Structure 1
Amino acid sequence: MTGSATEGIKTVLHPVSDLAKAKPVYAALLGVEPSADAAYYVGFDAAGQHIGLVPGGGPQAMTSPVTYWHVPDIEAKLAEVTVAGATVKDPVRDVGGGRLVATVTDPDGNVLGLLQDR
């Protein structure tokens, strides 16, 4: 197994049905105002974590929270976890600013995210 200090869970995205109702709840919970606030995504940065709210589950149709592991080489990690038994759900794609994301499912169907910043 490989790993480094740069890898770790730093981002969790939550699908929400009503962004306007969810935003103040998460702001109160986290004790900070959103760092990103748009109609398609609201993000909070608190205690080294990024918590995102995705209305309607977004284009990836999330139905439950998805945890993203930040990795230095997304292609290498994707290959490693698929060899270990994960199945690619959403292949690597650029979501803007050079940030790459992908999701896989574990043998029980849980969705796991991978994220690489440039």
Structure 2
Amino acid sequence: MTGSSTQGIKTVLHPVSDLARAKAVYAALLGVPPQADSAYYVGFEAEGQHIGLVPGGGPQGMSSPVAYWHVEDIEAKLAEVTAAGATVKEAPHEVGVGRMVATVTDPDGNVLGLIQDR
């Protein structure tokens, strides 16, 4: 298969209903305090993984955890996975300086995330 390479799952976002309670649970589970802590997002870095907590599923309306694959070229990878049968759910957009994200659904409706850091 040709196209952009995938660097693996390094980020998983979890929708939460009570950010304070979830933050306490994940801090205990991971053994580290959050590195990002705001009213709209709490993020932990542990063992090379990023675990994010998104209150109410955020603007993207997440209803279950979403794993994000880190890719070198988000547009190329998006073209590859849609050609293979995925459907774009959330088009690529910037969420931080130099970070682009997008989501697709597989043929069974599972949400898959893509992240590109510039």
Structure 1 residue runs of 5 or longer lacking an equivalent are none
Cα deviation for residue 58 of structure 1 reads 0.1
Root mean square deviation, CA, Å: 1.0
In structure 1, the partner of 2:114 is 114
- How do 1:1-118 residues align onto structure 2 when only pairs under 5 Å count? 1-2=1-2, 4=5, 7-118=7-118
Aligned-partner SS, 1:7: strand
Give me the TM-score of the superposition, normalised by structure 2.
Answer: 0.96
* Structure 1 residue identity aligned to 2:40: Y
Count residues in correspondence. Answer: 117
Identity of aligned residues (%): 81
Unpaired runs of 5+ residues, structure 2, are none
Q: What SS class does the counterpart of residue 63 from structure 1 fall into?
A: coil
Tell me by how many angstroms 1:71 deviates.
Answer: 0.2
Q: Which amino acid in the other structure matches residue 81 of structure 1?
A: V
How far off is 1:33 after superposition? 0.5
SS at match of 2:96: coil
Q: Deviations over 1:16-67 (max 9, x none)?
A: 0000110010000011100100000000000000000000000000000000
Q: Hey, what's the Cα distance between the residues in 2 that align with 1:31 and 1:18?
A: 20
Q: 1: distance between equivalents of 2:45 and 2:96? A: 18
Please give the alpha-carbon distance, in whole angstroms, between the structure 2 residues aligned to 1:106 and 1:26. Answer: 28
Amino acid across the alignment from 2:27: A
